[in-house]
Amino acid sequence: MINFENEQAVTIAEAVAFVPGKPNVATLWRWMHNGVRGIRLEAVPVGGRWFTSKEAIERFLAAQAQRAGQKVTAIESAAQKASIAKAERKLAAAGI
């Protein structure tokens, strides 16, 4: 699920720039609506426009690679890094 508080939101047209090979916008629409081998690109409509996130694209591509049997290294998104840093600050403040 996309968390716009911690993830960088982009329109579907802008998202093309973050996909290797820069596919056509119609390709991302198919990934959103039909999926690829049962995996869909996360996206949400906001005011009549569709948005996804750079992190959602990373998750989608990682899931595709994993399904293809390729070794996938852990992808730590900016949102995950921010969440980890916030938790570490809370623990430090609590003296843990």
Residue 76 located in a structural domain: yes
Whole-angstrom distance, CA of residue 24 vs CA of residue 60? 16
CA distance 15 to 38: 21
Q: 47: exposed, middle or buried (C-beta count within 10 Å: 0-12, 13-18, 19+)?
A: exposed
Is residue 4 a part of any domain in this protein? no
Q: What is the pLDDT of residue 76?
A: 58
2 within domain boundaries: no
> 40-90, pLDDT tens digit by residue?
999 999 999 999 999 999 899 989 888 877 665 555 556 667 778 888 898
Is residue 53 in some structural domain?
yes
pLDDT at residue number 72 = 58
Residue 58's domain comprises 9-93
Which of these ranges, 7-11, 62-66, 81-85, 92-96, has the smallest mean pLDDT? 81-85
SS3 for 9-64 is EEEHHHHHHHCCCCCCHHHHHHHHHCCECCECCCCEEECCEEEEEHHHHHHHHHHH
**pLDDT band per the 50, 70, 90 thresholds, residue 1:** confident
Number of domains the chain is built from: 1
